[in-house]
Chain A
């Protein structure tokens, strides 16, 4: 995979499609079979930041894709990159372990929360070196990333929404509204919480807050 940086926050937006066309003409050789435009942005006011990959297979689509991304992407844009793949490589839209429907996504998020809570209880106990007060809740806090697979006419896009686990409902509600121009969501994915590093434990009046890096 070749990664080419086209634009970053503060640059003139008009430069992005121009640089994109120059880059793709120069680097799309015989061994390149497909490409992605990778755009990152922050939308903290709506509770998340995000990264979009629009996957396509023809050079001439690039300019239009970049222009649409600039027009449609919410919040503050931070970067636009171009990724070029060989035929034996998986693009960002193809490299998904599991694509679920919305109900499965919510089940996966609940399972993640249970696993994180289990880890949080263990870490809180080890960290504080005391028996936890049973009247206090143990609340795990961690950053999660939810993927929406979107059909954009002939092309596909994967939008990753990154935010805090305890704001997940708001994050999903807002981001589905913010990205509705991109097209129809055809699947969802979320990274499974398997293990975590402890960042901090904070004891408050009625709960232990356990900050994890999953």
Chain B
């Protein structure tokens, strides 16, 4: 971060009062390309990036913005984090890729964070190649690392991605309680896009989407469910579905035979899930396509 000379920054500030407006406004008498005001914050686009100011004080300089609207801006930070600027204030949020990594780890992965002995390991295992590829793609995007694959001889088609890396594990452990036991939803670091990716990746690992037509039944049934041994975690998934996507008809089943299942109950909510969130798992994608072909035959 940081950029531009002190003189450049002073020039930027001096042009501020004349140029603040909606995004895209030309800023006269300065080197600024565009200015934007979001609540109390001023964002100035310069040749070498963006400066963020509040009451004329420079809060930071950012090379890249992923979203810039009069209501909200997102700036890229390192390790897959974003800085969100909105009228409510500023906060760090997970990029979709990093939220996806956490969704995968909370379902079929693990984080080992141990100081005695020193072991810092991230692991993700699956029988589905498409999930392994997606996990590696996200790890590469966030940390610039691809995890080596290990094919297990004692599990059919099962491949593990394993990497020892202290910095990476310490960073991920800031956003999930998985190394200490049960996983959690990192609410305070999510926006709608990252919430969507977290759910999509968790569903890919520990969920089920099916569309079944039985001969004796009049209408095929769409199933959307999540499985976990962690009831509190599933309750948090239900909250996430409700708060970000308006999917309110979920129910958690507790069977004597171990584990919990969270079901989306109403058809309109199930359709909302498959349309807005979905899954990376091929069998889920196929079921979604079958369901949508019937629900919306002309699309």
Contacts and interface: CB of A to CB of B under 8 A. Distances in A.
Contacts of B253: 143, 213
B58 interface: no
A110 interface: no
Nearest to B107: A9
A36 to B, nearest CB: 13
Interface residues of B, number: 43
A144 to B, nearest CB: 10
Nearest to A38: B258
B212 interface: yes
Interface in B205-228: 205-208, 210, 212, 214, 217-219, 221, 223, 225, 227
Interface stretch (A23-31, A101-109, A161-169): A161-169
Interface in B184-214: 205-208, 210, 212, 214
B155 interface: yes
Interface string A70-83: 11000110110000
Contacts of B105: 10
Contact of A166 (B206, B217, B266): B217
A26 B205 CA distance: 34
Nearest to A44: B208
Interface in B254-282: 255-259, 261, 265-267
Interface stretch (A56-64, A126-134, A149-157, A200-208): A200-208
A164 B257 CA distance: 14
Interface stretch (B40-48, B69-77, B119-127, B232-240): B119-127
Given A10-B109, A204-B219, A205-B219, A145 B125 contact: no
B154 A40 contact: no
Interface in A161-205: 162, 164, 166-167, 199-200, 202, 204-205
Given A13-B154, A67-B154, A71-B154, A204 B256 contact: no
Contacts of B208: 42, 44
Contacts of A76: 108, 126-127, 205-206
A42 B154 contact: no
A121 to B, nearest CB: 16
B217 A139 contact: yes
Contacts of B259: 40, 49, 51, 78
B129 to A, nearest CB: 14
Nearest to B105: A10
B86 interface: no
Contacts of B59: none
B221 A166 contact: yes
Most buried by A among B105, B178, B227: B227
Contact of A205 (B123, B126, B218): B218
Contacts of A148: none
Given A9-B108, A76-B108, A137 B218 contact: yes
B265 A207 contact: no
Contacts of A211: 251, 265
B244 to A, nearest CB: 22
B212 A207 contact: no
Contact of B217 (A51, A75, A199, A207): A207
B294 to A, nearest CB: 12
A123 interface: no
A206 B218 contact: yes
B249 interface: yes
A79 B241 CA distance: 26
9 contacts: A13-B155, A49-B261, A70-B155, A71-B155, A76-B108, A139-B218, A166-B217, A199-B251, A200-B249
Given A76-B126, A200-B266, 8 more contacts: A40-B259, A45-B283, A51-B259, A139-B217, A145-B256, A145-B257, A202-B267, A205-B219
